[in-house]
Structure 1
Amino acid sequence: MTRSVYVTGIDRGDGRQVIDLGVMELLTRQVDRVGVFRPLVHDTPDRLFELLRSRYRLAQDPATVYGLDYHEASALQAERGTDELVSELVDRFHRVARDYEVVLVLGTDYADTQFPDELALNARLANEFGASVITVVGGRRQSPDSVRAETRNAFRAYEGLGCDVLAMVVNRVDPGDRAELAEGLGALLPVPCYVLPDEPALGAPTVAQITHALDGKVLLGDDSGLARDALDFVFGGAMLPTFLGALTPGCLVVTPGDRADLVVGAMAAHSAGTPPIAGVLLTLDERPSDEILTLAARLAPGTPVVSVAGNSFPTAAEILTLEGKLSAATPRKAETALGLFERHADTAELLRRVSAPSSDRVTPMMFEHKLLERARADKRRVVLPEGTEERVLRAADVLLRRGVCDLTLLGPVEQIRKKAADLGVDLADAQLIDPRTSELRDQFALIYSQLRSHKGVTEELAYDIVSDVNYFGTLMVQEGLADGMVSGSVHSTAATIRPAFEIIKTKPDAKIVSSVFFMCLADKVLVYGDCAVNPDPDAEQLADVAVQSAATARKFGVEPRIAMLSYSTGTSGTGADVDKVRQATELVRARHGDLKIEGPIQYDAAVEPSVAATKLPDSEVAGQASVLIFPDLNTGNNTYKAVQRSAGAIAVGPVLQGLRKPVNDLSRGALVGDIVNTVAITAIQAQDHSSADVPAGT
């Protein structure tokens, strides 16, 4: 039977979309096929469903998502009664439920509806759907006593109407009241109650939303700039020195279009990062000269300048009533919302209470979700040497909003801040260090010169070497100032991992440093090794790669069944290359009898049961291999890229293994999502390393 979760409320303005998004995140971690049903809808396409469909790559036909629009439902209820309305919605729900393992039901929104008792309707629908209920209560601008009373009454109302209440969520409370409310409600209610503070960034409209609402014209700016949140509004009428003192981080400057001095001053302030602004809104349908706009664009590339027809007073009145909305066009808000939900709700407890059936399949999305969840559970600090690189900054934005790990970014600090401001990335919670000016440079030079004195490295030479961001980041990891490092989006593999070889070195039980890729196929995750580091490992090294890869696979939830790949299977082939693989296989069997391993074996026999049944019918690995070890770098690198491109697989890696502390390399073509995943993997690897690791150079 399909498990269903019904997220509902008691009134409008509760910010319930945050909880809808958070619950969807939980469900997609657990199962592959999650459906969505909204019984009543105002307009289609529905903004929230479009966000869920975009973010979670839902294949569900939008026509099946919606029950009835509010006008249809109201007319049906008036003509034929509530029972007929409910019967119609139940029929439409079951058309969705039969195709999915779990259905997330999005309750009514209490906005501009004509139902006399909307709460009772939600409760009845939840019961008829066989769905458990998560009830959301809005706490914005309410006293703690009022919130407590309203939450208790909401629980009693839904429980009294026969609902299976999984949890209560109080949203948008004053941050100063959150801890007290959470403790008090936890003792007051028989079900878990999660209390989420009000988050200004979620309620702030983006510059794009303001532009659309005011029918504005974009004079300058790119998509990234238009996606910035307008966290405050500064109305420009004063002279420039006074005006500059009034600017606040993330503010939207509203000024008449003929005030070229304020336009240039605001953009110059943004360029200097004192402070970064969201953009400039020009009123009176006036626009500065082309020369002023050119200067503004050079000062703050990407920062939006928008012109509207109205004068300042009605424009101000309108924008002050606008509220930010979660949508497919606001991915940063979605990351902020998920980070908020995951920090303040006990997601593990909630998932247990949902009791969604666990899927045997592991989709790419499920694998990625679990990475972030595991990294967040025991936060570590990861250093990113490429602090001025756009993709790294965008990845840092996601990681910080989701609370995945703590971050240190390396590079010229003012350049990092300016680039982040241009991208609308908030680095307030990140540590920024310029290796060239850092007080750590002298200390690191001494450490590195001692480590490399046998190579003739003096302290003076070391002083220059450690100003390199990769050397500096590696030394931070070695000295315990960071738990792991990720680099390589603009540096070569050699530039990224050479410092690790020199400073961190290999584990005592590892003969070499090697790598794996997690290949996320449509319904499973395979581990490929080694596709990035060792050109032509000998039998001993190949055996070491297999053992390391099995350990890495197990660490990330993939049960290792090792296939030692070759161009022949079993005893069918001969030659030096096959003999190397055969010897490596025997070495693993002799030293690690607990590991399931087969080799030499061809790729098709390793992963396809029908081929395995013919070639190796008695093997416990053939046809179901999860860890595939390639005989050399040429084969491994080409194979992973071929599978990635032709099968549409997501390749996460390379993940380095064998080092005493985690350092990972990125492909120079890495996307933002690749960087996020690699940082999460690095943080998880760091969870196994304590501060008592073996000192450098021993």
Structure 2
Amino acid sequence: MTPHDTRSHTKVLLMVPTSVGVGLTSACLGLMQALDTIGLKTGFLKPFRQDELNGPGPDRSTALVSSTLDLRPPAPIAQADMERLLRQDRLDVLMEQVIELFDQAMDGHDDTTPDLIVVEGVVPTAHGTYATQLNAQLAHALNARVILVGSGDAAAPEALAEQLDMHASAFGGVGSARTLGCILMRMQNLPGGEEPTLAPGTSSVMLDDTFLDELRRHSPALATDRFHLIGVVPYNPALIAPRVIDVARALDARFLHEGDAANRRVLSTSLCARSAANALHVFRPGSLIVTSGDRDDIVLASALATMNGVPMAGVLLTNGFMPNDNMIEMCRPALKTGMPVLAVDTDSFTTAKNLGRMGNDIPMDDLERAEQVARFVAGHLDLQWLKDHLSRGFARRLSPSAFRYQLVKLAQRANRRIILPEGSEPRTVEAAAICQRRGIANCVLLARREEVEEVARNRGIELPEGLEILDPEHIRSRYVAPMVERRRGKVNELTAEDQLQDNVVLGTMMLQLDEVDGLVSGAIHTTANTVRPAFQLIKTAPDYRQVSSIFFMLLPEQVVVYGDCAVNPDPDAEALAEIAIQSARSAQAFGIEPRVAMISYSTGESGSGADVDKVRQATRLARELAPDLLIDGPLQYDAAAIESVGRQKAPDSPVAGRATVFVFPDLNTGNTTYKAVQRSARVVSVGPMLQGLNKPVNDLSRGALVDDIVYTIALTAIQAAQRS
């Protein structure tokens, strides 16, 4: 199964925290538990590690999900690597790495593809000011719906509403199609606040109308179906209670008696400076008694309470003082019950402050707490709403990062041999070296070796082992006879020998004879120079009567297809219909769900004239020829691309506002539009990719960058694999 195949059927939910300490990982665990409850198979991904929150060792969130839910999520990208790429302004590379992790998360299942991947977003901290930017980019790259994870006081609904509005703005606001809803964690002062419970299957907290009405009054979007209050999870001290062993690790304490430290939880901490007689109220279940090591009365009172059946968390002795042997012997019956006793060298006040600084994060080896948290949070989520909403399919988009990553992976898998006739052109040499090194294709440069090596020296390019360089002067003669045979009656030996002086013609003959799998040219040649030999020697595929082209336009949020922007000057209705079908099939082959818009200056029946009539007729023909495709037209560009305009101008259209394939009525319109979008919006375009040929030949723009050439080589390798 290809990366496209798995991603196209898997929804992605990005969990975006509004601040530090909202319980983000707990929300992820609870949501995944809830989704499992309603029968959805989930995966997990944490793209970036945050050292200031995680501390040393493996990533906590990833380890907890692995142990609690029996998944195998990949390790996140290190914070240092992430920040280095951000400093270098290489956000696109960072997002490609995220896509690679996403594919690994998809593979973390033994049998079936997950229905949904939960992604833990970046927490805004004082150290990292990039959280909002990265979360927005994650949403785009993974085509994710966003769930905000917040926390606060139910008695202050205005502050909660402002919190949600502010953080939703990075994704178009709480009313946008991108934002799905919110989960409010660790909520204080909920109306009719329920007693804390860890019982499995806890029912959702019942909120009175006053709280909801106040919240909706300050954030009207909460009253709509666009943004849902998915869950309100009450504060529960039992869920943030650390084990005694966690306290020992945090304070670097010594165990005088470890006892049941791995299982006893600290529900409260009591600093005992008064005499035991005046502190009897602190000896209660789950209490950690903090006292100076020379306070024998407190130590004895703790032992007595334990022997009386009070399951205290333990005793923490401060100031470096140790009880004497007689005292230890007197307390031995209490120790036999499993009561832990720890010691630190700091004074009682400092120790209490250090305890107050302990985080609420779940330690990665505390499986019991993780499972309790997951059940408790899941019990306070709106399961019916999740089931109803997630059973409906999203309009899938392929992000630029996913597209680029997919191209590379599929090309590596294809392992094809690609001829580059412009073998000594500097950008082509660099691109060939990259492709060879990364296994994207086995490139063949048509050029004299000395010329290629000189280019490499001048540009600091290291030519990888295995990069093939063929001197065209040494091989031209062997293709004269095959060319005469191929073009019988149209060329003789003299004209064939003359035409083969052109390296593009020579490379095309090598392709025709199956010595290579594809050809890429155009960095220094016109489109006609590249396409004409293909028409003459390769010819069209059996199902088509013409060759056309598409560009993959890497828009900020998704990849769309433009056709035809390079080959056919003024196609008639039949040709335009064929271009639409070719473009849709190409989009589908590269992971883009085809929704084809036939572009015109008029939408629907609102206009008339020869040009719009041609588009209308082409739409009808395309639908007849390919009834399985979503094709609509004529549509104006804004009606095809923008949801709000599409709803207004073509409310019944299955394509309007959601188009992924844009078919232009003629070359003038298509080429102008593609260049305007590419240059004005600084959009990367990959192509033109030729369609309808028997074998893959692809043209480059003469202004192509090295990356453009690399991705076009990858496209060509994939086309070759698909044809075989």
Native 8 Å contact 1:517 1:529 kept in 2: yes
SS at match of 1:653: strand
Aligned length: 383
Distance in 2 (alpha carbons) for counterparts of 1:465 and 1:572: 51
Q: Encode CA deviations 1:410-445: one digit per residue, 9 max, x unaligned.
A: 02222122222333321431111122212xx33311
Q: Could you tell me how far 1:689 is from its partner in structure 2?
A: 2.3
Contact 1:655-1:665 at 8 Å conserved across structures:
yes
* Aligned mates of 2:708, 2:604 — CA distance in 1: 36
Structure 1 residue 93: Cα displacement: 8.5
CA shift for structure 1 position 50: 2.1
After TM superposition, give the deviation of residue 541 of structure 1 in Å: 0.5
Output the amino acid matched with 1:660: N
Cα distance in 1 for residues equivalent to 2:497 and 2:457: 31
Quote the residue 1:560 is aligned against. 594
Partner of 1:430: 467
More divergent stretch after superposition (459-468 vs 668-677)? 459-468
Structure 1 residue 522 corresponds to structure 2 residue 556: yes
- Report the counterpart of residue 532 of structure 1 in structure 2: 566
1:191-216 superposed Cα distances (whole Å, 9 cap, x missing partner)? xxxxxxxxxxxxxxxxxxxxxxxxxx
* Bigger-Rg structure (1/2): 2
Letter of the 2:664 partner, please give it.
Answer: F
Deviations along 1:150-177, whole A, 9 cap, x unmatched? xxxxxxxxxx98499xxxxxxxxxxxxx
Q: Aligned letter for 1:655? A: M
What residue is the counterpart of 1:403 in the other structure?
A: 439
Task: Give TM-score, length-normalised by structure 1.
Answer: 0.51
Distance 1:520 1:566 in 2: 22
Residue 578 (1) aligns with residue 612 (2):
yes
Matched, 1:442 2:442: no
- Measured against aligned partners, the alpha-carbon deviations of 1:17-60 in whole angstroms (never above 9, x if no partner) come to xxxxxxxxxxxxxx9xx99664xxxxxxx687324653742799
Identity %: 48
**Distance in 2 between residues matched to 1:624 and 1:385, nearest whole Å:** 39
Give 1:676 shift: 0.6
In structure 1, what is the Cα distance between the partners aligned to 2:366 and 2:456?
47
Q: Does 1:452 align with 2:487?
A: yes
CA contact (8 A) 1:516 1:531 kept: yes
> What do the CA deviations read for 1:256-308 (whole angstroms, capped 9, x no partner)?
xxxxxxxxxxxxxxxxxxxxxxxxxxxxxxxxxxxxxxxxxxxxxxxxxxxxx
Does residue 664 in structure 1 map to residue 706 in structure 2?
Answer: no
Tell me, yes or no, if the aligned pair for 1:582 and 1:600 is still in contact at 8 Å. yes
In 2, Cα distance between the equivalents of 1:48 and 1:541?
Answer: 48
| Residue correspondence of structure 1 range 221-620 to structure 2 within 5 A | 362-425=398-461, 426-438=463-475, 441-455=476-490, 457-620=491-654
**Residues in 1 aligned to 2:540 and 2:495: alpha-carbon distance in whole angstroms:** 25
The whole-number CA distance in structure 2 between the counterparts of 1:610 and 1:91 is 36
Give distance in 2, aligned partners of 1:498 and 1:511: 15
What is the CA–CA distance in structure 2 between the aligned matches of 1:615 and 1:6, rounded to whole Å?
42
The answer (yes or no) to whether the contact 1:605–1:623 under 8 Å persists in 2 is yes
Query: Would you say the 8 A contact 1:383–1:407 is kept in 2?
Result: yes
Aligned to 2:679: 645
Q: Is 1:689 matched with 2:723?
A: yes
**Amino acid corresponding to residue 591 of structure 1 in structure 2:** L
The one-letter amino acid of 2:46's match is: S
Cα distance change of structure 1 residues 163 and 484 upon mapping to structure 2, 3 Å threshold:
farther
Q: Per the alignment, in what secondary structure is the counterpart of residue 436 of structure 1? A: helix
Q: Any conservation in 2 of the 1:566–1:602 contact (CA below 8 Å)?
A: yes
What secondary structure sits across from 2:565 in the alignment?
coil
Sort the Cα spacing of 1:380 and 1:632 in 2 relative to 1 into closer, same or farther, 3 A: same
* Residue identity in the other structure for 1:476: M
Q: Is the 8 A contact 1:609 1:622 kept in 2?
A: yes
Q: CA deviation at 1:451?
A: 2.0
Cα gap change, 1:572 to 1:679, in 2 (>3 Å) = same
The CA deviation at 1:361 is 5.3
Q: Is the CA contact (8 Å cut-off) linking 2:398 and 2:592 kept in structure 1?
A: no
Pick closer, same or farther for the CA change 1:55–1:362 going to 2, 3 Å. Answer: farther
Q: What whole-Å deviation, never above 9, does each CA across 1:318-358 have from its counterpart, x for those lacking one?
A: xxxxxxxxxxxxxxxxxxxxxxxxxxxxxxxxxxxxxxxx9
Tell me which residue corresponds to 2:351: none
| Runs of 5+ consecutive residues of structure 2 not aligned to the other structure | 1-14, 16-24, 26-44, 51-57, 59-72, 95-122, 140-248, 251-362, 368-393
Change (3 A) 1:359 1:588: closer
Q: State the Cα distance separating 1:91 from its structure 2 match.
A: 7.0
- Give the conservation status (yes or no) of the 8 Å contact 1:525–1:558: yes
SS at match of 1:642: helix
Residue 564 of structure 1: SS of its match in structure 2? strand
The answer to whether the 8 A contact 1:52-1:58 is kept is no
- Aligned match of 1:57: 91
SS in 1 for 2:544: coil
| Contact 2:420-2:520 at 8 Å conserved across structures | yes
Change over 3 Å in CA distance of 1:95–1:472 after alignment to 2: closer
- Cα 1:362/1:560, change in 2 over 3 Å: closer
Q: Equivalent residue for 2:286?
A: none
Q: Provide structure 1 residue ranges, at least 5 long, that are not aligned to the other structure.
A: 9-15, 17-30, 39-45, 61-88, 104-119, 122-159, 165-357, 691-698
User: SS state of the match for residue 88, structure 2?
Assistant: helix
Cα 1:664/1:36, change in 2 over 3 Å: same
Paired with 1:499 and 1:402, the residues of 2 have a C-alpha distance of: 30
Distance in 2 (alpha carbons) for counterparts of 1:163 and 1:394? 51
The amino acid that maps onto 2:546 is: I
Name the aligned partner's letter for residue 490 of structure 1: I
TM-score, reference length from structure 2: 0.49
Maintained 8 Å contact 1:382/1:683: yes
RMSD of Structure 2 on Structure 1 (CA): 3.4
Residues 59 and 460 (structure 1), Cα distance of their counterparts in 2 relative to 1, 3 Å cut: closer
Decide whether aligned partners of structure 1 residues 582 and 489 sit closer, same or farther in structure 2, where only a CA change above 3 A counts. Answer: same
Q: Assess, with a 3 A threshold, how the Cα gap between structure 1 residues 4 and 411 changes in structure 2: closer, same or farther.
A: same
